[in-house]
Amino acid sequence: MFQIGDLIIYSAHGICRIDDICEKTVSGITRQYYVLHPEADQHQLTISTPVDNKKVVMLELIHEDEAYEILELFKYPGIKWNDNANLRFHIYSEVVNTGDRKDIAKVVNTLLRGKMEAALHDRKLHERDLKLLQTTKDTLFKELSISLDTSFEEINEIVIKVIRENKIS
């Protein structure tokens, strides 16, 4: 069970802070609830979710050693590129939804490399790929920056540099 003040990854909302753990009665059933606020939300969205909710992913932030392992993954090709945009989006989304940060990093790696390759040929990445890249990269890089006590921008610079230095021809 998480504690008040913990930062967690919560489903599609990304990094959230647990502000409270309290009892609530919904539809006549009283349960323990986490009260969360997404870190990136300026409108102070409040999320309440049962402590025992099995339908959403709630993960502890990674530790420093795992963060370094994830950064190392950007030296290598990510996951297999699929030329069918719909199938690619489906496969990559399934990987992201597992919550496995190393696999998520491989998706981000592949999409970043795809974006860089497309730019070399004055093309753009497919819109769905761009959106998946942006949301996934934002959450992953913010988590890495917290784990390594640095900034999102620094993580982004490190990753881009590693990819460029280890470009696969």
Q: Whole-angstrom Cα distance, residue 64 to residue 139? A: 16
Please determine, for residue 137, whether its predicted confidence score (pLDDT) is greater than 60.
Answer: yes
Average pLDDT for the chain: 92
**What DSSP element (H or E) covers 38?**
strand 29-38
Q: Is 6 exposed, middle or buried (0-12, 13-18, 19+ CB in 10 A)?
A: middle
Pick the residue with more confidence: 91 or 166?
91
Q: How far is CA 137 from CA 94, 101, 106, 145, in A?
A: 15, 11, 11, 12
- Res. 139 pLDDT band, cuts 50 70 90: very high
CB 7 within 8 A of CB 17: yes
Q: Is the pLDDT of residue 12 over 80?
A: no
pLDDT at 169 over 60: no
What residue ranges of the chain are covered by domains with CATH 2.40.10.170?
A: 7-60
Delimit the CATH 1.20.58.1290 region(s) of the chain.
Answer: 64-165
43 confidence band (pLDDT: 50, 70, 90): low
Specify whether domain 64-165 bears CATH 1.20.58.1290. yes
What are the structure tokens assigned to 45, written together? 């969205």
Tokens for 31, please give them: 């349960």
pLDDT in tens, 63-117: 999 999 999 999 999 999 999 999 999 999 999 988 899 999 999 999 999 999 9
> In angstroms, rounded to a whole number, what is the distance separating the alpha carbons of residues 50 and 35?
9
Which tokens sit at 124? Answer: 């753009």
pLDDT of residue 44: 78
Share of the chain above pLDDT 90, in %: 81
Q: Among all chains, which residue has been given the structure tokens 């069970």?
A: 1
CATH of domain 7-60: 2.40.10.170
